[in-house]
Amino acid sequence: MAFKRRFTPRRKFCRFCADKDLPLNYKRPDILRDFITERGKIIARRITGTCAFHQRALTREIKRSRQMALLVFTSTHASEVKKKSTL
């Protein structure tokens, strides 16, 4: 396969598996932020290289973090999300 590396990280393995000390927790938005786009979208596993297990945990923590409003959201977006979360 002829992949051009655009924004693909060099290391293509799970960072959480590689570094056991790396906390995967909603209380650490500084780390979660590496796995979301500027707009707050979760970056696909094939791009970050995160394994299935950790990606699932990551998704959960990111969603939790959003609810806790620890992650920076677009301010207009944030109020919409709050309304939608009750659905």
In Å, how far are 6, 14, 43, 58, 66 from 52, measured between CA atoms? 23, 9, 13, 10, 21
Residue 65 in contact with residue 36, Cβ under 8 Å? no
**Closest approach of Zn ion to the CB of residue 24, in Å:** 9
Between 10 and 49, how does the x/- string for binding to Zn ion read (CB under 5 A)? ----x-xx--------------------------------
Stretch that binds Zn ion, among 24-32, 41-49, 54-62, 77-85 (CB under 5 A): 54-62
Binding site for Zn ion (CB under 5 A): 14, 16-17, 51, 54
